[in-house]
């Protein structure tokens, strides 16, 4: 749902790029904030006396979202977009989520099963989003049910703050991620339904038995 505010968010963050930043630089900064997010989760939860880093996790995630919005904006503005750039951008979305949150695997007492489920569902949601571009309608699906990339950033930001305030909440993180996984799964369902809806009455040659 937060994706509906992307236009407003882009207007807010456009000044960050000024006249000096290129799309590739925005992407590079985005990678830096992905790594910082991952490090803040791991160090904040694993190293004694460094829990305060968890308060920086939401900051890093906001800047990651800002850079992600900026790279596309700048590529269009300066007419520097390429197929390779779009492939890299889409790949970085899901790889970035994986890197951001997979550091929880290495936290003592951290979640494993539910985190694996969440990451798999995040890949699925983005896959069905991209798939819409190659099917009738030709639109990259961004619809969310509280489970899109910006929504996931908010969920994980709230989690970081909760873990800072109450470290014992780590015991309940698997349940938190399970709820989050439900919304990410429903996001996939929504994107599939939207893709099917726009494809109605459009000619399409199916290559699978289910489509005949």
Q: Mind listing the pLDDT tens digit of every residue in the chain (212 residues)? A: 455 555 566 667 766 666 778 888 888 999 999 999 999 999 999 999 999 999 999 999 999 988 888 887 887 777 777 888 788 888 888 999 999 999 999 999 889 999 999 999 999 999 999 998 888 878 889 899 999 999 999 999 999 999 999 999 999 999 999 999 999 999 999 999 999 988 887 777 766 666 65
Give a yes or no: residue 61 inside a domain: yes
Contacts of 47 (CB under 8 A, 6+ apart): none
Give a yes or no: residue 110 inside a domain: yes
Domain extent, residue 101, equals 2-199
CA nearest 190: which of 120, 124, 133, 95? Answer: 124
Domain harbouring 81, CATH code:
1.20.120.1760
Give a yes or no: residue 212 inside a domain: no
Q: How many domains in the chain?
A: 1
What's this model's pTM, rounded to 2 decimal places? 0.88
Give a yes or no: residue 205 inside a domain: no
State how far the alpha carbon of 33 is from the alpha carbons of 19, 110, 129, 147, in Å: 21, 22, 23, 21
Burial, 108: exposed, middle or buried (Cβ in 10 Å; 0-12, 13-18, 19+)? Answer: exposed
Are the CB atoms for 135 and 195 separated by under 8 Å? yes
Give a yes or no: residue 210 inside a domain: no
């Amino acid at each position: 749902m937060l994706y509906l505010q992307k236009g407003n968010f882009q207007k807010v963050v456009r000044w960050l790029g000024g006249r000096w930043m290129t799309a590739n630089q925005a992407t590079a900064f985005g990678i830096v904030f992905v790594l910082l997010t991952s490090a803040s989760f791991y160090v904040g939860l694993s190293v004694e006396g460094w829990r305060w880093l968890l308060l920086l996790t939401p900051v890093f995630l906001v800047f990651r979202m800002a850079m992600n919005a900026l790279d596309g904006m700048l590529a269009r503005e300066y007419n520097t977009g390429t197929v390779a750039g779009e492939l890299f951008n889409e790949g970085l979305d899901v790889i970035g989520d994986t890197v951001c949150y997979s550091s929880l695997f290495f936290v003592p007492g951290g979640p494993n099963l539910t985190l694996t489920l969440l990451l798999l569902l995040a890949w699925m949601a983005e896959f069905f989003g991209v798939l819409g571009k190659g099917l009738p309608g030709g639109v990259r699906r961004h619809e969310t049910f509280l489970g899109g990339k910006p929504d996931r950033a908010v969920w994980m930001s709230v989690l970081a703050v909760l873990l800072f305030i109450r470290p014992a909440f780590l015991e309940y993180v698997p349940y938190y991620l399970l709820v989050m996984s439900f919304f990410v799964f429903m996001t996939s369902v929504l994107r599939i339904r939207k893709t099917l809806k726009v494809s109605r009455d459009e000619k399409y040659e199916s290559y699978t038995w289910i489509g005949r």
